Amino acid sequence: MNSALGKVVSAVMIDENAQDYFVQPDRNGQTYRLPKAESPQELHIGGQVRGFVYENEDHQLQMTCQHVPTIQVDHYDYGTVVSVRRDLGVFVDIGLPNKDIVVSLDDLPELKHLWPQPGDRLLMALRVDSKDRVWGQLADDQIYQTISTAPSKRALNRDVMATVYRLKLNGTHVITDDYQLGFIHPSERDQEPRLGQRVKARVIGLSSHGSLNLSLKPRAYQAIDEDAAMILTMLKHDLNHRLPYTDKTAPQVIRQAFGISKGQFKRAVGHLLKAGLVEETNGQLVLLQKEE
């Protein structure tokens, strides 16, 4: 097994041609091609150089000094998914000029529609198998616990951007851009997000496990239609946050006040009532959530 693959190592120059130096990390070990354009200095036989070693897409052993990835063996960082092969896995760009790294289908969800898609991102390191093949190794729960930060009550009701890192039957596990762990219960989403997908979520609570409870559903006032939004705006701008109109108001009065039919008005008010944004009291429509 080649123990140098996927790591930054020191090597000695043993030969060269017009385009490349040839370097060895160990005497009588593997020889790597180092393009002269990527060498930090001119090398002579016996000269030392330090760089990242890997097998490129042409199956040649290569060293790079200018494109050293942050993702290495035992070094975790985010890589961007660039393509998908259903029979193999997903290919991830880690910054190498001529090599993308595969995350095996064995490490991906059983349901292929939940696989990462191009543009999604995965927190991963590298691993080398017994045949010297380099694979992407997804971060496990312990890694996420190690890099995470404690949530704050000030986050309540705020919007956060988060990346999906674990899919389970009980819900979706994410980590925010501020490295806070979060959980999305199935009841708080319309469809299950993909592994590696970035989502915009709303903080709806703090769990006893030190993570955020999140929702992918819009706030009630964001889910209402245009007629309801118009009525809500009029309520907000009224000095007392009240309007003298209900479902008992005459159609012609509704038309004159709002420019919509009595039926449209009743549907809009129904949405607001169901969302808990208004109530009908003493023949008036009253705003409940003034902070919104």
Q: State the residue range of the domain holding 200.
A: 147-215
Asked if 261 and 254 touch (Cβ cutoff 8 Å), the reply is yes
pTM of the model: 0.75
Closest CA to 88 of 64, 106, 74, 73: 106
Both structure tokens of 182: 């979060």
Residue 263: count of CB within 10 angstroms of its CB: 10
- Same structural domain, 107 and 82: yes
Q: What is the pLDDT of residues 217-261, one digit of tens each?
A: 876 556 667 888 889 889 999 999 999 999 889 999 999 998 899
CATH number for 106: 2.40.50.140
- Same structural domain, 200 and 151: yes
- Same structural domain, 84 and 53: no
Closest CA to 12 of 29, 27, 24: 24
- Same structural domain, 56 and 88: no
Closest CA to 186 of 168, 165, 212: 168
Q: What is the pLDDT of residues 15-73, one digit of tens each?
A: 999 999 999 987 657 999 999 999 999 999 999 999 999 999 999 999 999 999 999 99
Q: Can you tell me whether residue 273 is helix, strand or coil? A: helix
Residue 43 has phi, psi (to 5 degrees) of: -110, 150
Q: Which amino acid is at 29?
A: G
Closest CA to 121 of 55, 181, 199, 184: 199
- Same structural domain, 194 and 231: no
Sequential DSSP letters for 27-77: TTS--EEEEGGG-SS---TT-EEEEEEEE-TTS-EEEESSS--S-BBTB-E
CATH number for 47: 2.40.50.330
The CA dihedral of 252, 257, 259, 262, to the nearest 10 degrees, is -50
- Same structural domain, 211 and 226: no
- Same structural domain, 60 and 112: no
Q: Which of 19-33, 84-98, 118-132, 187-201 bottoms out in mean pLDDT, i.e. has the lowest? A: 19-33
Report how many domains make up the chain. 4
> Could you tell me if residue 100 is inside a domain?
yes
